[in-house]
Amino acid sequence: MTNSCVFCKIVSKEAKATIVYSDEQVTAFRDIRPVARTHILIVPNKHIESVNALEVEDEQLMGHLFAVASQLAKEERIDKGGYRLITNTGIDGGQTVFHLHVHLIGGQRMKYPMG
């Protein structure tokens, strides 16, 4: 837990969010500014600043996080149509909240190319 981190506060329920899934390792909640019909953020419960800060011991956690993303896509009924998983990393990557998260975005045709 990092005192100033908004996602740590959502995980600990100190800050409000629409939580759609949680377990002992990860929490998923709806983005406050959705860019599509489904826009969910999936975060590790422990504070990891970004992909840059991942350690070998986090491999199982990240695999689990993607398994939860797959499960939520089915629950949101976007699995068949398809969806996008995004993890922005650092300033050039467009990261604005420095607690690692995966955006699960779907319910409409995504724009391409990226970048």
Instruction: Provide the annotated active-site residues.
Output: 101
| Closest to 87 (Cα-Cα) out of 75, 70, 71, 104 | 104
When asked if residue 88 is in the footprint of ligand 5GP (CB under 6 A), the reply is yes
When asked if residue 5 is in the footprint of Zn ion (CB under 5 A), the reply is yes
Tell me the closest approach of the beta carbon of residue 107 to ligand 5GP, in angstroms.
15
User: Cβ(63)–Cβ(26) under 8 Å?
Assistant: no
**String marking each residue 18-57 x if it binds ligand 5GP according to CB under 6 A:** -----------x-xxx-------x----------------
Strands of 83-86's sheet in order across: 19-22, 26-30, 38-44, 102-106, 83-86
When asked if residue 94 is in the footprint of ligand 5GP (CB under 6 A), the reply is yes
When asked if residue 100 is in the footprint of Zn ion (CB under 5 A), the reply is no
Helix %, strand %, coil % of the chain (to 5): 30, 20, 50
Tell me the closest approach of the beta carbon of residue 112 to Zn ion, in angstroms.
31
The CB density around residue 41, as the number of other CB atoms within 10 Å, is 21
Summarize as ranges the residues that interact with ligand 5GP (CB under 6 A): 6, 17, 29, 31-33, 41, 88, 94-97
